[in-house]
Chain A
């Protein structure tokens, strides 16, 4: 399958056995987006978004179906160190400072840390944590920890970026700011990105395509293309186009949630 430049999710199913009852976290999910594009996953909680992201990260294997990016399976991708991921829970090493937590993926890939000190510092500034370089996670608020984990996901400049509700714990203003920053970063190198989010406006602001998911069983009901030009600005959030898309998405979410 060489030459394919796709993120491809092919008929993937994953279920969990919870003390006898089977939960279909994902059932026959198929999805294709071009490599280098930005995909958002949106849907009610429990519809399998995190499960799908973990499958893409090679942290879990599907019961059926296959996933790949440019023809390479997630397991191999993660061993190559091509994946940057921010988990729904920040999962920082509690004994490491902010700076050292961000440096962790570089250490794992056995890079020479001295060459990266400038990049680490600029990431710290980017996520608004200047002055907290030497703080440990226990001294940070939930939102700050989450920002550390975003910086950590970005530090290796990965080809595949997986973000699981990374801005969930942030206040509205900061969230908007971080959205714009993320767009900047993404436009510079265009990593294949999958963002899980609850927020419709965030999905539209950032994504090339939005996959709307629903639960029991977890599946994709529709993939909506977002053809707004880039860079997307805060003014666009007030445009009629933007609102039309937002209305469409919320209708999809609402009808399937009550169905």
Chain B
């Protein structure tokens, strides 16, 4: 989609338009009285601040780099193991889904309680990297061209040889597709912990400080820089992925592996599924308690699953805690839902529209691609700056973190629709709108659910970050407040409850997705 020089030129052209419009809007102070400075002012400020940046940058990049490297190694290792041992994957699925769905910000207070120095940052980066890289590795290693495996077997090779000669190499494009998502993820993790405070150096610290002092140009400078770093890492890994995909020509490895679901449970009976579900749920609880024990924390600070239940239901202040939790949920969940809906709807409509006008679409696509890797912690302060500390800001944050990735998912699904079907339709005289209606639309609806599943946890995270940083509402605020009040029970409870909601939501969506997928396939 972006390889031809024509679309490259269009992208460059639209970049120019963005730059010019931005400059004008900023100069004329068209948006929110100077909170949206012109690019020239942003770069000027970036230059003035040049002495501040190296240390902040170095601190953030160091933690993100270490976290990314360690996280990738763990994730690739797990992906390979899970591909080889299906049962292991199934047992750990609860853990994997938890890592996927957890709004990372709930882990910040917990990590800051448990670890010192740069450890919390590195660990959150590892957690952010784990899921996308693990899943793409798993799928890349598992779904190979079966004929290649037979070539190895018939020559006397074992499963190990199939792994060595085929799977690992065939999985490279998928692994890089995972890594390109993981890079920005690591940056996000590190900056979130930096928001949690306690460190002197780091882009997150710098950003938060500037938000307090209300310095729009500097704030934008930091945001753009963080976005650029994420964009570069995204681009580098995309390039490698594309390179290996080219050399895998006749095999069929999907670059979109990170958006595919895990193995379906169709081959199990209802009872087996129930047992597996319970087992994988228990694995999460066991790991949670086990990790606490390993970290050797005081039971006052570190609450396991039992302690959380006790805090909420049998503790002295249980009723009060439940009230606060419910009212926070009542604020957070509707906003997450609204932002998610709007983001998905806009992505859906725009993807279909731009599919009708491929030239505009191919110019817009690279922007969406870069924007989806924009680190949420960098984005949130900017939106808060422009929209104020309001509910609107929260919705806008949620909208933007769901819109871009959803657009990318849906647009990719549309662009991969079988040309054959369209040719047939067109040879029968179908016009563009009819192609849209009978071929594109069903396809877009299928991918809409995939987009929803991927976006749902991001929506929750978006709302919570906005609440945590700015608006003083909902779960994010409750988390922040509880930190201040050393209300450890509530910190863990908010974490557990928000993970539960995120997991439930993604599970419901993926169930729908599978049912609809089945309907379209058969």
Q: Using known A-B contacts A137-B249, A138-B249, determine if residue A93 contacts B148 with beta carbons closer than 8 Å.
A: yes
Q: Using known A-B contacts A87-B147, A93-B166, determine if residue A108 contacts B155 with beta carbons closer than 8 Å.
A: yes
Q: Does A81 contact B155, Cβ atoms closer than 8 Å?
A: yes
Closest Cβ of chain A: how far from B254's Cβ, in Å?
15
Does A59 reach chain B (CB closer than 8 Å)?
A: yes
**Residue interface bits A11-41, CB-to-B below 8 A is 1, else 0:** 0000000000000000000000000000000
Does A156 reach chain B (CB closer than 8 Å)?
A: yes
- Give CA–CA (A83, B153) in the complex, Å: 10
Apart from A78-B154, A83-B155, A108-B161, what are 14 other A-B pairs with CB-CB below 8 Å?
Answer: A59-B153, A59-B154, A78-B156, A85-B151, A87-B147, A91-B147, A91-B150, A93-B169, A104-B152, A109-B156, A136-B247, A137-B250, A138-B247, A152-B151
**Residue interface bits A29-69, CB-to-B below 8 A is 1, else 0:** 00000000000000000000000000001110000000000
Q: Which 5 A-B pairs have the closest CB atoms?
A: A81-B156, A105-B155, A91-B147, A138-B249, A108-B157
- Pick from B151, B155, B166: contact of A156, CB under 8 Å: B155
The dominant DSSP class at the B interface is helix
Does A89 reach chain B (CB closer than 8 Å)?
A: yes
Does A107 reach chain B (CB closer than 8 Å)?
A: yes
Does B412 reach chain A (CB closer than 8 Å)?
A: no
Does B500 reach chain A (CB closer than 8 Å)?
A: no
Which residue of the partner chain B has the closest CB to A57?
B154
Q: Using known A-B contacts A78-B156, A80-B156, A104-B165, determine if residue A94 contacts B151 with beta carbons closer than 8 Å.
A: no
Q: Which of A's residues lie within 8 Å of B, judged by CB?
A: 57-59, 78-85, 87, 89, 91-95, 104-105, 107-109, 136-138, 152, 156, 162
10 CB-based A-B contacts, threshold 8 Å: A57-B154, A78-B156, A81-B156, A83-B154, A84-B155, A95-B247, A105-B155, A105-B156, A137-B249, A138-B250
Complex contacts, A104 vs chain B, CB 8 Å: 151-152, 155, 165
Q: Which of B's residues lie within 8 Å of A, judged by CB?
A: 145, 147-148, 150-157, 161, 165-166, 169, 244, 247-251
- Give CA–CA (A70, B151) in the complex, Å: 23
Complex contacts, B161 vs chain A, CB 8 Å: 108
Q: Does A94 contact B155, Cβ atoms closer than 8 Å?
A: no
Q: Does B169 contact A95, Cβ atoms closer than 8 Å?
A: yes
- Give CA–CA (A81, B157) in the complex, Å: 8
Which residue of the partner chain A has the closest CB to B155?
A105
- Give CA–CA (A162, B153) in the complex, Å: 14
- Pick from B150, B152, B251: contact of A94, CB under 8 Å: B251
Q: Does B150 contact A87, Cβ atoms closer than 8 Å?
A: yes
Complex contacts, B250 vs chain A, CB 8 Å: 92, 94, 137-138
- Give CA–CA (A109, B155) in the complex, Å: 8
- Give CA–CA (A95, B250) in the complex, Å: 9
- Give CA–CA (A109, B152) in the complex, Å: 10
Complex contacts, A156 vs chain B, CB 8 Å: 155
Closest Cβ of chain A: how far from B289's Cβ, in Å?
45
Complex contacts, B152 vs chain A, CB 8 Å: 104, 108
- Give CA–CA (A138, B153) in the complex, Å: 23
